Each structure stands twice: as structure tokens, then as C-alpha cells.
Structure 1
Amino acid sequence: MRQNRSSKTTQNNKSSKFKWLIAIVLSTLVLTIGGLVLTNNLFTNSASSKELLVLKAEAVSVQHWKVPAKQQSISSAPKDPPGPAAGKKVVYLTFDDGPSIHLKQFLEVLEKEKAPASFFFVGNEFANGDKETYQRMIDSGFVIGLHSYTHNPKKLYRKKDPTFISEMSRERDDFERISGIRTNLIRAPYGSTYLTNTQVEQTKQNGFRLVDWNIDSNDWRYSPGNSGAVYQNVLSQVNAYEGSNEPLVILFHERKNTLDALPRVIKMLRDKGYVFQAYHENETLHQNFKKDPNL
């Protein structure tokens, strides 16, 4: 009798444990299916939920969540600071006052020649460009910088309430809003010569990186159709650096005569042994009229 009772008790215990196991499995399945349905609804029925999840993914780095490439923010500066290629004669082509109606033509020439360059845009000219073109520039190895909103020295450098810093800050924010690209690279209209010591310090404090030039094409002086004068002016200045390994930073503008002269200029520089690089905001080369290694 004792053996029978013991046997029945054991069987009852086993049956009870089995029932609990089934209950746990079923509960897990229900929760999993419910979670999948909820997640699907979040991604298919709510755009704001998508954005929220992406923001969480970017913020909670400890989880190592990966944001799809198309949703990642774009930066015009590489993580590793670039600099003039060791043992090479390096030239940086830079173009001011865009985006202009000629921008895409400039890009076509530079892409064909495999010559990356840096462009400095004026805020009041943003309407001449578009987000797709800006994205194309970054993807192709070009760099986009800022060149103030008004390009007006009477406002930028006036003694009372100069607008240099405020215009650059506004332009940085507005360009990021319309393009998805945040850039800290700037060029002062007419050069940093006009900046006061206070403005130089404010430039640094606001996280900007400024670059001037050491060769001026003076292309703005020449009328359309006079591309030969642009070429000769650049050639004479490049020749002055003959025998020097000093990197060249050439100032151009988005003008038709510059566009026409560009293929000849690139060929001339290449024939002289120069390699082309784009000037980035974390460039190790500091080229500015203030000769400031921290600007």
C-alpha cells in the first residue's frame, strides 16, 4: 500500500511539473508574438516611432545598435585627421562664393580629372544648390565649407556689432538643416586679415576651422571668356614655388572663366608633379594669414 501511494505521489508531481513547463512555454510564445506585432506596428504605422527608435539607437551606444547607413548623419570631415601626403607635392583646390549655377559643371570636371576640392558656400546662394548635389559632393570626396551669409565686409567686419561669427553660426545651422551636413570649416570673405584678435578667438571658441590661401587666381578680375588670364595668373604663382615642397592652397571662385580654365590648370599642376587633396576641417595643415597654428 505504501509503495502504491508513493508511486501515485511521484506521478502527480511529474504531471504537475509538466503542466507548469507547458504553461511557461505558452506564455513565452504569447509574449514573443505580441512583441513582434507591436514592433511591426511601430515601424509600419508611425513615422514618429521610426524616428524615435533611430534616435535611441544613436544615443544608447552601449547597446551597439546600428543605424541604417541612409539614416546616419553625414559629416564632411573624416575621423582620422588628414594632411599633405608624405613625400608628395600637394595642392588644395578651393572654390568660393557658391553654390552657383556652374556648380555641377565644376563637379563634372573635377570628378573626371579625379581632383577632389573644397567649396565655400555663401548662405544667400543656397537656393542655387540642392540636397542631392551636396550629398553627391560628400560621397565623391569633396568638402563643403562656409563663407558667411552676406559676404558683405561692411557688416562682417564693422567696428560695432560685427556679424562675422553670427553669420557663420547661422549658416552652419541652416546648412545642416537643409542638407544633413554639418561643417565647421570656414573661409573669411576677403581673408582672415580683416579679423580682429577678438574675432579670431571667437572663431576658435565656436568650433570653427578657418583656412585662407597662398595662391590667388584673381579670377574675379577677368571678364567671361578670358580664361587664359586665369590660367596664366595661376601658372606664374605656381612657378614661384618651384623647388619648394610647400603645399599650395589655391583660391578660385565659381565663375565661368574659372570653369573654362580649370582643365588646363589641373593638367599644368599634374605635369609639375602635384597631387590633389581636399582641405578638411581637421586638416593638419594650418594655412591662414594670421599664422595661427590653432586656427
Structure 2
Amino acid sequence: MNVSSERLFKRIIIAILSLLCAVLILLCVILGVQNQRCRERLGGSAADPALADSSAQPLPPEVPVWQALYPELYADDTGRSTVNTDKVVYLTFDDGPSARTPEVLEILERYGVKATFFVAGRGDAQSMEWLRAIAQAGHTLGLHSYSHDYGQVYASVEDYLADCDALNTLIYDAAGTRPQVLRFPGGSINPYNAAIYPELTAEMLRRGFAYFDWNVSGMDTAVGGASAEEIREAALRGLEERRVFLLLHDSAGKQTTVEALPGIIEAYRAAGFSFDRLTVEVTPVVFGYVE
């Protein structure tokens, strides 16, 4: 091979090697860009060591939008679920206030009994006065529902919170107190809230409220009405319970509930039960969670 041919051959080899180096550098750049974009889509940066760790936890889910709603709709953080007394009756009255409320209050005062009223949204002057009377007598005022329209209340978590906030404000305006306890309309699990009750109950607990269902009912909403004796007999089915969370109603048509109340109190007292009102410290009774 002459000198000129040898020089040409070396130039060709150098050109080929240079081209290979350029291709390798270009491939590295392309792979680096793709890796960077992938990391950005995962929510990190190329320098984020957590992305290189196969044991890193997934990113937390978004906070539900309803957590930012209604900043006044919170219970005081005073502790919860510490009282679990044996042989106690928690009388609870739903759906008031009404013309029955003064009658119920008079009976409770006569027997020296405290109770809990899960009230609805009635903002007329007389109802506001009844709400004040409940609080002033030392009973517990609890949230139930402003509208008591199940379809509206349980349309979404946001709709439930709107209803609760309206009632919370009304009670505060009437009695100067903000409720700490609540009862979901129809109970914590019912056909109307089946799609949202896990989120609903979790959100109200997050806001510091204690919610209570019942384990004994006076059956005073029976179709066609119930007599005072029928209500009394139903209510006394709790005599075998260790703790009785008794559901009664305080709406205007419940005259027989008022008539049954003295006999209910007397029978439980004769069986050695005491009476108390609900607070956030009381260990609640709640319906079983359905998967």
C-alpha cells in the first residue's frame, strides 16, 4: 500500500469512529430527555431520589373539595368516646321543635331527666324560642336536618354539608351554642345515602362531630299512628340492653309519644336505669358498616 492510500484509509477510519461517537452522544441525550419527561409526569424531578427508590409510597390522593367548605361547621375538639356507662338510657327526640316540645320539657323537668333533641330547621320566632328553652334546660341540642328532604340532603356530600351548615347557624342564632353531636336523617346508613355514607360519616368525624344511631325505637312513626301503650311497649324492649339509645320523635303530631313518656321513664328507673344526655364523650351506637 502506497503512502497516499494509507492516509486515505486512516481518514476513513477516523471519520467512521467520529460518526459512531456522535451517534452514541445523540442517543444518550435522547434517552436523558425521555427520562426527564417521565419523571416529570410522575410528579418528581430528575434529581428526586425517591423516584429511584422502588419502595417509595405513591402520591397521596387529592383532598376532597368539600373539606374546604363551611369553616364554621366544626365541633369543639373536647375529646370523644370515653363514657360507656352501664344501665343508662339516652332519650333522644328527633324532628322538633314543635308544639310538643314544651310538653316534653315539662315531663323531663318533673322527673329530673336530661335528654337529647336532634332538631330540624324551623326558623320562626316560636321555634327559635323552643330551641332556646331546650338549651337553657340543660339538654343537648344536636344536628338532624334543616330541610329533612332526604333526596336533597343526600344528593351529595356537599349538599349534606350545606344542609347541616344552615341548621348549625340557625341553632347558634337561637341558643348561642353550636352542636357537637348529630343524627343523620334516617340513620347513618339508609337507602338514600347508600352511595355516599362512607365519605359522609368520615367527613363529619373529621370535623369533630359524634354521630349517634339508636338500638331501641319507640316505633312512634308507625303508619296509621301508634297508641301511647304501643310506644311504651316498644320503648321498653331496651330493658335487656346494657345501654339504651332510644329513638322518639318531637314533631307536632306525636301527642301519644308525650303521653307514653312518663311510663317509659318510670319503668326504666324501676329497673335500675339512669338517664343522661348525649355528648361527644359518650361512646356511640352506630349501624353496622356495609361493604
Tell me if TM exceeds 0.5.
yes
Q: Which residue of 2 aligns with 1:150?
A: 147
Structure 2: distance between partners of 1:143 and 1:162: 26
Secondary structure of the corresponding residue to residue 286 of structure 1: coil
Shift of 1:209: 1.9
Instruction: State the Cα distance separating 1:269 from its structure 2 match.
Output: 0.6
- Any idea what the Cα deviations from partners look like across 1:157-194, whole Å, max 9, x if unmatched? 23x56622221122112221232111131111110013
Whole-angstrom CA distance in 1 between matches of 2:282 and 2:265: 23
**Cα deviation code 1:229-260 (max 9, x no counterpart):** 1111122x224x2xx5x211000001111000
Shift in CA distance, 202/283, structure 1 to aligned 2, threshold 3 Å: same
Deviation, 1:89, is 1.0
Partner SS, residue 267 of structure 1: helix
* Counterpart check, 1:271 vs 2:270: yes
Q: For 2:153, give the aligned amino acid.
A: L
Task: Point out the structure with the larger helix share.
Answer: 1
Q: Describe the superposition over 1:198-248 as per-residue Cα deviations: whole angstroms up to 9, x where unpaired.
A: 11122123332211110011101165672111111122x224x2xx5x211
**What residue is the counterpart of 1:219 in the other structure?**
220
Aligned counterparts of 2:218 and 2:142: Cα–Cα separation in 1: 19
Tell me the alpha carbon deviations over residues 110-135 of structure 1, each in whole angstroms, 9 at most, x when there is no partner: 1001111000110146654234x434
Q: Secondary structure at the match of 2:199?
A: helix
Aligned twin of 1:110: 108
Residue 177 of structure 1 aligns with an amino acid whose one-letter code is D
Q: What residue in structure 1 maps to residue 210 of structure 2?
A: 209
- Please tell me the residue identity of whatever aligns with 2:272: G
Distance 1:252 1:127, change over 3 A: farther
The 3-state SS of whatever aligns with 2:221 is: helix
Cα 1:128–1:121, aligned 2, differ >3 Å: closer, same or farther?
farther
Alignment of 1:129-140 (within 5 A): 129-131=127-129, 133-140=130-137
SS in 2 for 1:154: helix
Partner of 1:164: 160
The correspondence of residues 22-37 of structure 1 with structure 2, limited to 5 A, is none
In 1, Cα distance between the equivalents of 2:264 and 2:76?
A: 26
Distance 2:87 2:157 in 1: 42
Distance 1:164 1:90, change over 3 A: same
After TM superposition, the structure 1 stretch with the greater mean CA deviation from structure 2, 104-113 or 121-130, is 121-130
The residue correspondences of 1:53-64 to structure 2 (distance < 5 A) are: none
Shift of 1:90: 0.6
The runs of 5 or more residues in structure 1 that have no matched partner are 1-75
Runs of 4+ in 1 over 3 A off after TM superposition: 76-82, 124-128, 133-136, 222-225
Corresponding letter in the other structure for 1:166: A
Does the 8 A contact of 1:135 with 1:179 survive in 2?
A: yes
Structure 2: where are the runs of 5+ without partners? 1-74
Q: TM-score, normalised by structure 1?
A: 0.63
Q: Which residue pairs with 2:95 in the alignment?
A: 97
Partner of residue 262, structure 1: 261
| Structure 1 residue aligned with 2:176 | 180
Name the structure 2 match of 1:230: 231
Which one has the largest radius of gyration?
2
1:13-28 matches, cutoff 5 A = none
RMSD of aligned residue pairs (Cα, Å): 2.7
Q: Normalising by the residue count of structure 2, what TM-score does the alignment of the two structures yield?
A: 0.64
SS in 2 for 1:220: coil
Q: How many matched pairs? A: 207
Distance in 2 (CA, whole Å) between partners of 1:247 and 1:112 is: 23
CA drift of 1:265 comes to 0.7
What is the aligned partner in structure 1 of residue 283 from structure 2?
A: 285
Give the C-alpha shift of residue 275 in structure 1. Answer: 0.3
Structure 1 residue 84: Cα displacement: 4.2
